[in-house]
């Protein structure tokens, strides 16, 4: 008998892959959490019926949400990751030697615990001595901080449930206030095919809060449509002004200096969604 996982990505679109077994399933206080082994993409973390990450393609998302911002900031000493309980973003953050402190504010303790148990290759960075894990609502955390972080990375679930507020104008304002005077933020901002209205809204809000706002793209096979967007809001440093000298200080599998710049070159239909600056 074949076992298949099917995610209803929209009312009219589904993604299916064959699985060999379900390793874990529980209802946490925040969401339905599952870990399955897929044939095509390896082990997969699922929250509320939506793929969060897979062992085979996670490097694309985690490298792209992290390195664009951390190579744009000349001295990213204090970094906050909101969400990101699987640990993949933190694993990439701690590859940067300039980072002195990395804080993870994840609302759901069980995502971290289950990722540590079933996804060690993704969660391994959480053991770095520079990392502090807080089980907290990222919205409250940034509201309580002023001028504190160099970089804030918003590695959230889709804009439903506890993550809904992570896409609001008020939240981006609190993020701007939690950053130092030359700080910058980056957020995962969903698919231009499936979430066009959301991209219009968040790029307008981030553009209002920050003098530099830029959207960039990556191809992520297990996310709806495969085309994914990230948005940078920066008080000073422009990701397009970054110049790389020599090789990167650590190996990567997707991100490269050339791709850093290329990812900001947008197809016309995506350019149209991005609020004008």
The nearer residue to ligand SAM, 44 or 209, going by C-beta atoms, is 44
Annotated catalytic residue within 57, 108, 150, 155: 155
Nearer to ligand SAM, 188 or 203 (CB): 188
- Identify which of residues 30 and 210 has a Cβ nearer to ligand SAM in the complex: 30
User: Strands 42-47 and 101-106, how do they pair?
Assistant: unpaired
Residues of this chain that interact with ligand SAM (CB under 6 A) are: 30, 47, 52-53, 61, 82-86, 105-108, 111, 137-139, 155-157, 162-163, 166, 188
Cβ proximity to ligand SAM, 128 vs 137, nearer residue:
137
- Chain centroid offset of residue 188 CA: 5
Q: How far is the CB of 277 from ligand SAM (least distance, A)?
A: 25
Bridge-based pairing of strands 13-27 and 3-10 is antiparallel
Pick 9 or 53: Cβ nearer ligand SAM:
53
Smallest gap from residue 276 Cβ to ligand SAM (A): 26
Q: Indicate the angle between helix axes 169-178 and 196-209, nearest 10 degrees.
A: 40
- Is-catalytic flag, 155? yes
Contact yes or no for 253/223 (Cβ under 8 A): no
Residue whose beta carbon is closest to ligand SAM: 83
Provide the minimum distance between the beta carbon of 243 and ligand SAM in the complex, in angstroms, as a whole number: 29
Do the beta carbons of residue 79 and residue 93 sit within 8 Å? yes
How near is the Cβ of 246 to ligand SAM at its closest, in Å?
Answer: 30
132 Cβ neighbours under 8 A, 6+ residues apart: 101, 102, 103, 104
To ligand SAM, the closest distance from the beta carbon of 105 in angstroms equals 5
State the sign of the Cα–Cα–Cα–Cα dihedral 165, 169, 173, 178.
positive
Residues serving a catalytic function are 155
């Amino acid at each position: 008998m074949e076992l298949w996982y099917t995610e209803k990505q929209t009312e009219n679109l589904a993604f299916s892959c064959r699985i060999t077994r379900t390793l874990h399933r529980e209802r946490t206080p925040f969401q339905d959490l599952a870990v399955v082994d897929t044939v095509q993409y390896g082990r997969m973390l699922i929250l509320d019926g939506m793929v969060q990450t897979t062992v085979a393609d996670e490097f694309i998302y985690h490298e792209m949400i992290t390195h664009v911002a951390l190579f744009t900031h000349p001295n990213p000493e204090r970094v906050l990751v909101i969400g990101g309980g699987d640990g993949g973003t933190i694993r990439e953050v701690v590859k940067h030697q300039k980072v002195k402190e990395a804080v993870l504010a994840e609302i759901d303790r069980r995502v971290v615990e289950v990722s540590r148990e079933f996804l060690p290759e993704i969660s391994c960075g959480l053991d770095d001595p520079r990392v502090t894990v807080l089980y907290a609502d990222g919205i409250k955390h940034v509201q309580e901080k002023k001028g504190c972080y160099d970089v804030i990375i918003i590695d959230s679930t889709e804009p439903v449930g506890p993550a809904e507020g992570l896409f609001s104008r008020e939240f981006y304002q609190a993020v701007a206030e939690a950053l130092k005077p030359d700080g910058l933020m980056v957020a995962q901002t969903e698919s231009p095919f499936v979430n066009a209205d959301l991209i219009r809204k968040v790029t307008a809000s981030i553009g209002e809060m920050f003098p530099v706002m830029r959207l960039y793209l990556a191809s992520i096979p297990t996310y709806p449509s495969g085309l994914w967007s990230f948005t940078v809001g920066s008080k000073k440093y422009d990701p397009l002004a970054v110049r790389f000298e020599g090789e990167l200080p650590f190996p990567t599998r997707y991100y490269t200096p050339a791709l850093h710049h290329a990812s900001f070159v947008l197809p016309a239909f995506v350019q149209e969604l991005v609020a004008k600056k």
